[in-house]
Amino acid sequence: MKDLSRDHYDSVAMLLHWAIAALILANIPLGAFSEQIEAGLEASAMWLHKSIGLTVLLLSLARLAWRLTHRPPPPVMEGWRGRLAGAVHWAFYALIILVPLTGWMRSSSSGYPLRWFELFDVPKFAIAPKSAEAAAVVTAHEWLAWTMAALIALHVSAALHHGWVRRDGVVRRMWPQAASG
């Protein structure tokens, strides 16, 4: 069996992958359980959810630019599995941009300020509160976020399958120590 760990992603791709993953995994419960979190804290946790989302958007645009200008390692899977893996990969790119973008649009239709980590104001889109456009953005953000959560579960399951069942080195391609070895 070919040692796939030699065909690894570069350190910038790995850094962006793991930073975005960590921020998204922190942000999912903040968004999904914001009302319960706010009740327990007696303060709004949404400012943190919004700030993390905007950070994910910026990092995702950087990651897409990096991916388009730097060749990734060759694909591992062939046939329908390879096509499925490629489709999931590009679906992630779409979602890591669209979920925070629709969140930004959703925040734009609220009467609350949009501030990045309480450091500066973020410009808002011109979306009227309680409009059909605002309602559509809310629905889109929620559906896209749940789709991303499902895709994360699929991605993690595939990584565990490659790491524990197939033991084929696929997981090590995105693991930071693989770049140094």
CA torsion angle 174 69 60 166 (round to 10) = -20
Q: How far apart are CA 54 and CA 139, in angstroms?
A: 19
4-180 belongs to CATH 1.20.950: yes
Least confident stretch, 27-41, 58-72, 101-115, 147-161: 27-41
> Any alpha helices (H) in 75-131, and if so which ranges?
79-108
pLDDT in tens, 100-149: 999 999 999 988 889 999 999 999 999 999 999 999 999 999 999 999 99
**Can you give the pTM of this predicted structure?**
0.88
Could you tell me the residue ranges of all domains in the chain?
4-180
- Please name which of 94, 87, 102 lies closest in space to residue 63, comparing C-alpha atoms: 94
